Structure 1
C-alpha cells in the first residue's frame, strides 16, 4: 500500500484541498459580483426613470415634435 513516501501523499491531499478551496471561493466571489451588478443595475434604472420623469415634467407637449425630428435625423443606410 505504501508505494510512495508519506510526503507525496501529503502533497496530493494539499492539491485536492487547494482545488476545493479554489472552487468554493470562486462561487462566493461570483455571488458577490452578481449582487454588485444587480445593485448597480438598480441604480442605473432609477436614474433613467428620474431622467424620464424630469423630461416629462419639462416639456409634456413636445414629444410628438421630438419624435418627428428624431425620425428626420435618423439617416441610416441599413
Structure 2
C-alpha cells in the first residue's frame, strides 16, 4: 500500500516551511537584540556625556 508521490512532496514542503519559519524567527530575534543593544549604548553614552557636562559646569561655578 504505497502513498502517491504528491503526498511525499506536500509533507516535505511542510517540513521545509517549518524549518524556514524557525530560521527566520531566530534571525529576526538576533537582529532585534542587536538593534536594542546599539540603541541602549547610544542612550548610555548620551547620559555619560550629560553627566560629564554637569560635573564640568559645577566645577567651573
Q: What's the offset of the Cα at 1:49?
A: 0.3
Give the aligned partner of residue 38 of structure 2: 39
Give the aligned partner of residue 8 of structure 2: 9
Give the aligned partner of residue 57 of structure 2: 58
CA RMSD of aligned residues (A): 1.7
Q: TM-score, normalised by structure 2?
A: 0.84
Q: TM-score, normalised by structure 1?
A: 0.68
Q: What pairs with 1:61-76 in structure 2 (closer than 5 Å)?
A: none
Q: Structure 2: where are the runs of 5+ without partners?
A: none
Give the aligned partner of residue 74 of structure 1: none
Larger radius of gyration: 1
Give the aligned partner of residue 25 of structure 2: 26
Relative to its length, the structure with more helix (as a share) is 2
Q: What's the offset of the Cα at 1:59?
A: 2.1
Give the secondary-structure state (helix, strand or coil) at the position aligned to 2:41: helix
